[in-house]
């Protein structure tokens, strides 16, 4: 009679009554896929650690002479080269403003996160996650707040790395950040003392629990499962599952957009009071809930206690292809590509060793009784003779020539060794530049960058994961830290928009920074090359020395700064002397200009006096005209008298002669007047030129360097 199990109702949430059935159902959903991932990742980890016993059994290879213990590990070097490069070129988290938000706020975000990452080892944890992803294919990184350190009130930001064998995840997630996953199950083993510390309010209940990991441990690739009979540990599970919840949000009718807000009802009332366009609405939104299970006891059930940060963990992987229908190929590591080549290399080396060990490589071949002194055959060095007995030939005694491994086998072993690096995509020459010892740091970086094109996909994936981690770390800060702690860490008061989710919009940028000695040395080399390219000291020595990895840096910096201060003082003194010289030249030029202006004013005054003389002369001319009129009247009287005496015709002839003389005098007077007017007009024109020229010189001197002004003044 078969037992019929009805399908599980996926709409039910876990509770203390159904928690074991709920976990079993969750495990049954994803175990076929995750079991394949666990198995392949376990083999990859064994290869990296230095064991291929499992593969030897899988391929039926059993070397003789107990040679199965020999393992020549070639997969570590390619993995360590890539992870080592990442460690030397670590990238930092930067926040930039978007949607017109406040740049001062994002600068404070960057300053705060840089301090947290440097203090709490965030960069080291991420490097470890990258390394584990290259070895096993997939790990999970979870940001959290640690309340067991110095700050028991608000906690310290930390990263928890879940190795490949400590989690189950929705195998049908397609997004690179697993945002479309429906559940994540993390499991670890802890002692009772640690459990009592974590669940202090239920410490008595924890003390009564029985350590039975075999009954509750579902992740059988964890190392604690290999000693289940002796360990005294409890099984702790964190099960995250996607659910729905109702949440208050702000809605803007004019923009038709929803916004989140920080704080409680008091902060909500302030926002609604100051922003009339906003109104509070309750909407149904997706959320991630947490079920914490210790052995089979449900210790916590609810939303994320650290705030709504979305997916609780970030995946870090090497190759993740959920569209592949073969389960063991969905997640692949860097070691996976080198496993076969490394196995064949070991197989060929062990086989060549067996060939060499299976033959006699030293001694003599001889007929019985052919050598008189056989003990000498076992000796080495000079002075030992081998005597051939009578009746035997020299050919009856021959030295055994050591047998050699065929060159084809040696070449095949060498080919397998090279194949390990070829399958991994690493070219040692491009990575090390060993054929050219005199190359510059920039050339070295270019060569490495060219070889890294093969791995650009993986570095981009790691940057994307770090970007998600940076976003979640900041959200944990905004949900759990107050302004006092933030101000203490960044050394200034947080901006008014620091905790606002309406006006503080940001984008996370992952960029390479000065986090490692290698990065600092590269920057120093680039600064030196900049000075060489420009042919002058663009950057001072004190700026270059501070990034070099040398001892006694403080003393060197102080000495260089003193030299730079002395050089700056000498330069300032030279500039002061030059400025004084130029000032004297300027004063000399101004004096010459004043002299010319004085001469122009003198000429102008002379012109005015000339005008007075002209007016005086004009008055004399008017007086002369009056006298002439008087004389004309007298002449007219004399004319009338002459007519009576001499007759009319002779008198008029003489009168015409007088008129012609008059006209000649008036014309001469007119010409003289015009000459005087032209002379005065030319004087006024020269005066205008002399008045305009100093102003023009002054304007030119204001727009030109002082040295050119002095040169013009000298001219």
- Residue 593 and residue 543 share a domain: no
pLDDT(248) > 90: no
The answer as to whether 562 is a domain residue is: no
pLDDT(502) > 80: no
At 713 the pLDDT is 40
Q: Rounded distance, CA 589 to CA 410, Å?
A: 92
Q: Please report, for residues 468, 595, 624, the alpha-carbon distance to residue 412 in angstroms, rounded to integers and kept in the order given.
A: 46, 100, 137
Q: Rounded distance, CA 475 to CA 309, Å?
A: 6
- Closest by CA to 506, choosing from 154, 242, 118, 112, is 112
pLDDT(5) > 90: no
**Whole-number average pLDDT of the chain:** 78
Mean pLDDT is lowest, of 146-150, 431-435, 613-617, for 431-435
Last residue of a domain, one of 300, 327, 352: 300
At 216 the pLDDT is 77
Q: How many CA atoms lie within 13 A of 61 on its CB side?
A: 19
Contact yes or no for 94/110 (Cβ under 8 A)? yes
The answer as to whether 688 is a domain residue is: yes
Q: Which of residues 693 and 107 earns the better pLDDT score? A: 107
Highest mean predicted confidence (pLDDT) among 433-442, 459-468, 615-624: 459-468
- Residue 592 and residue 709 share a domain: yes
Helix 19-49 and helix 334-357, axial crossing angle in degrees, nearest 10: 50
- Residue 595 and residue 525 share a domain: no
- Residue 616 and residue 710 share a domain: yes
At 584 the pLDDT is 87
- Closest by CA to 470, choosing from 117, 163, 89, is 117
pLDDT(639) > 70: no
- Residue 635 and residue 538 share a domain: no
- Residue 599 and residue 647 share a domain: yes
The answer as to whether 427 is a domain residue is: no
At 473 the pLDDT is 93
CA-derived radius of gyration, the chain? 51
pLDDT tens column, 334-387: 999 988 888 888 877 777 777 666 665 667 777 777 777 777 777 666 667 777
Percent of residues, the chain, with pLDDT higher than 70: 74
At 1 the pLDDT is 35
- Residue 645 and residue 602 share a domain: yes
Alpha-carbon dihedral 46, 51, 54, 57, rounded to 10 degrees: 160
- Closest by CA to 338, choosing from 458, 412, 424, 413, is 424
Query: Residue 316 is inside which H or E element, if any?
Result: strand 314-317
pLDDT tens column, 188-202: 999 888 999 888 888
Q: Which residues pair with 252 in a beta bridge?
A: 257, 278
pLDDT tens column, 26-69: 888 888 888 899 999 999 999 998 887 766 665 565 555 454 46
Mean pLDDT on 455-482: 91
- Residue 629 and residue 546 share a domain: no
Mean pLDDT is lowest, of 109-118, 438-447, 510-519, 703-712, for 703-712
pLDDT(624) > 70: yes
Quote the number of domains for the chain.
Answer: 3
The answer as to whether 695 is a domain residue is: yes
- Closest by CA to 121, choosing from 106, 143, 138, 94, is 143
Q: Which residues pair with 139 in a beta bridge?
A: 316
- The domain of 294 spans 200-300
- Residue 698 and residue 594 share a domain: yes
Confidence band (pLDDT; 50, 70, 90) for 281? Answer: confident
The answer as to whether 671 is a domain residue is: yes
- Residue 625 and residue 530 share a domain: no
pLDDT tens column, 137-179: 999 999 999 988 888 889 999 999 999 999 999 888 899 999 9
Q: Which of residues 677 and 11 earns the better pLDDT score? A: 677
The answer as to whether 289 is a domain residue is: yes
Mean pLDDT on 394-398: 74
The answer as to whether 275 is a domain residue is: yes
- Residue 704 and residue 595 share a domain: yes
- Residue 649 and residue 538 share a domain: no
Q: What is the SS3 assignment for 672?
A: helix
Percent of residues, the chain, with pLDDT higher than 90: 18
- Closest by CA to 218, choosing from 20, 459, 370, is 20
314-317: strand order across its sheet: 156-162, 138-146, 314-317
Last residue of a domain, one of 274, 300, 326: 300
Q: Rounded distance, CA 144 to CA 633, Å?
A: 129
The answer as to whether 530 is a domain residue is: yes
Last residue of a domain, one of 300, 332, 347: 300
Q: Rounded distance, CA 621 to CA 680, Å?
A: 18
- What tokens were used for 573? 């003194």
pLDDT(394) > 80: no
pLDDT tens column, 570-608: 888 888 888 888 888 888 888 888 888 888 777 777 766
């Amino acid at each position: 009679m078969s037992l019929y199990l009805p399908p599980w109702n996926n709409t039910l949430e876990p509770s203390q009554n159904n928690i074991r059935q709920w976990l079993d159902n969750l495990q049954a959903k994803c175990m076929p896929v995750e079991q394949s991932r666990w198995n392949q990742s376990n083999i990859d980890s064994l290869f990296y650690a230095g064991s291929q016993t499992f593969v030897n059994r899988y391929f039926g290879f059993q070397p003789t002479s107990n040679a199965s213990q020999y393992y020549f590990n070639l997969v570590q070097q390619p993995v360590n080269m890539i992870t080592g490069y990442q460690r030397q070129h670590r990238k930092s988290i930067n926040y930039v403003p978007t949607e017109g938000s406040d740049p001062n706020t994002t600068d404070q975000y960057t300053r705060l996160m840089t301090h947290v990452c440097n203090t709490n080892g965030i960069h080291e944890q991420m490097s470890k996650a990258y390394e584990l992803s290259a070895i096993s294919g997939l790990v999970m990184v979870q940001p959290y707040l640690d309340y067991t350190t110095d700050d028991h009130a608000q906690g310290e930001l930390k990263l928890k790395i879940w190795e490949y064998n400590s989690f189950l995840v929705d195998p049908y997630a397609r997004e690179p950040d697993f945002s479309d996953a429906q559940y994540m199950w993390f499991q670890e083993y802890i002692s009772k003392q640690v459990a009592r510390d974590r669940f202090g309010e239920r410490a008595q209940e924890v003390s009564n629990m029985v350590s039975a990991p075999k009954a509750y441990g579902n992740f059988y690739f964890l190392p604690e499962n290999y000693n289940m009979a002796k360990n005294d540990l409890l099984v702790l599970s964190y099960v995250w599952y996607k659910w729905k919840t109702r949440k208050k949000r702000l809605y803007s009718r004019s923009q038709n957009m929803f916004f989140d807000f920080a704080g409680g009802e008091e902060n909500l009332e302030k926002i609604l009071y100051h922003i009339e366009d906003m109104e509070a609405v309750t909407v149904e939104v997706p959320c991630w809930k947490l079920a914490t299970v210790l052995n089979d006891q449900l210790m916590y059930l609810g939303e994320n206690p650290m705030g709504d940060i979305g997916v609780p963990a970030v995946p870090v992987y090497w190759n993740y292809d959920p569209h592949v229908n073969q389960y063991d190929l969905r997640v692949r590591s860097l070691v996976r590509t080198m496993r076969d080549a490394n196995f064949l290399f070991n197989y060929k080396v062990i086989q060549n060793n067996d060939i060499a060990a299976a033959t006699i490589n030293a001694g003599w071949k001889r007929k019985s009784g052919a050598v008189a002194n056989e003990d000498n055959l076992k000796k080495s060095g000079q002075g030992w003779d081998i005597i051939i007995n009578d009746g035997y030939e020299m050919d009856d005694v021959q030295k055994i020539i050591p047998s050699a491994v065929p060159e084809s086998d040696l070449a095949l072993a060498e080919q397998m060794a090279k194949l390990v690096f070829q399958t991994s995509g690493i070219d040692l020459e491009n990575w090390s530049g060993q054929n050219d010892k005199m190359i510059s740091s920039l050339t070295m970086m270019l060569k490495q960058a060219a070889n890294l094109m093969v791995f650009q996909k993986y570095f981009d994936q790691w940057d994307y994961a770090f970007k998600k981690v940076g976003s979640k770390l900041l959200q944990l800060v905004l949900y759990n830290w107050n302004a006092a702690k933030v101000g203490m860490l960044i050394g200034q008061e947080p901006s008014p928009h620091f905790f606002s989710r309406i006006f503080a919009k940001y984008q996370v940028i992952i960029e390479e920074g000065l986090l490692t000695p290698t990065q600092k040395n590269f920057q120093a080399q680039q600064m030196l090359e900049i000075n060489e390219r420009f042919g002058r000291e663009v950057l001072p020595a004190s700026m270059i020395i501070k990034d070099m990895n040398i001892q006694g840096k403080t003393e060197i910096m102080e000495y260089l700064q003193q030299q730079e201060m002395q050089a700056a003082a000498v330069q300032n003194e030279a500039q002061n002397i030059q400025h004084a010289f130029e000032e004297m030249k300027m004063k000399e030029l101004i004096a010459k200009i004043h002299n010319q202006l004085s001469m122009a004013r003198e000429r102008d005054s002379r012109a005015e006096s000339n005008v007075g003389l002209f007016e005086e002369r004009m008055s004399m001319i008017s007086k002369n005209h009056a006298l002439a009129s008087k004389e004309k009247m007298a002449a007219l009287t004399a004319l009338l008298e002459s007519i009576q005496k001499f007759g009319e015709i002779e008198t008029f002839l003489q009168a015409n002669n007088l008129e012609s003389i008059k006209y000649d005098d008036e014309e001469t007077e007119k010409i003289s007047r015009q000459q005087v007017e032209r002379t005065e007009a030319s004087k006024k024109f020269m005066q205008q030129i002399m008045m305009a020229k100093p102003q023009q010189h002054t304007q030119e001197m204001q727009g030109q360097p002082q040295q050119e002004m002095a040169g013009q003044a000298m001219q």
